[in-house]
Amino acid sequence: MTLQLGETAPDFTVASTEGNIQFHEWLGDDWAVLFSHPADYTPVCTTELGAFAKRKDEFASRGVKLIGVSVDPLDSHKDWAKDIEKTQGKGLNFPLLADKDQVVADLYGMIHPKADPKVTVRTVFIIDSAKKIRLMLTYPPSTGRNLDEILRVIDSLQLTDNHKVATPVDWKNGEDVIIVPSLSNEEAKERFPDGWDEQTPYLRVTRQPGRK
């Protein structure tokens, strides 16, 4: 199945380390980061799960829930969790789906046969409170994810959902933003009374809304 940005994230019911998860019900009115792992007891995944656990509060402060998935069974997950806590200094504090029947993997296109027909690739989905897919990232099995980038994208999405702005290259929360081209100068004056730097008629840089 090929998913695209803006589509409704497929629903599913799958066992997890925190009991059965019916995804849409579990998500409620929050956002989610859904991320897959090639297999249990793999070194890169071990570091990632520990890192997500350590930074769970940063995601929660943005109204974002974490949920991992692997095609290994639940018993394997629970044993692996002990290694994660031992080596990374933080235990699992979010659900890890036991997708042994590849329900989630198939719905979200996480099996890439030319990469490896037996395991999920390292994918990330950011899903908003309307259950729409807002970002998809696919990494090779050998490359760990960058959590700072995932948080940066969430900050950008949540900011631009509420204001007529876009975020430029390498933007970080608190930095200047771009007024969207569809907004006329007259409309922009109402929204951005402090003005902007008009580098070209379509590139108008302004202070991030809400920044002190």
For 98, the enclosing helix (H) or strand (E) is strand 96-98
How would you classify the pairing of strands 165-166 and 133-139?
unpaired
**Block residue for tokens 């950008």:** 156
Rounded CA-CA distance 99/36 in Å is 10
Q: What is the DSSP letter of 171?
A: -
Give CA separation, 204 vs 19, 166, 200, 207, in Å. Answer: 49, 10, 7, 10
CA distance 129 to 115: 32
Q: Residue 103 corresponds to which tokens in the numbers above?
A: 């329900």
Active site residue 45: yes
d(CA 82, CA 35) in angstroms, rounded, equals: 20
Which one is catalytic: 32, 34, 45, 126? 45
Residues with a catalytic annotation lie at 45
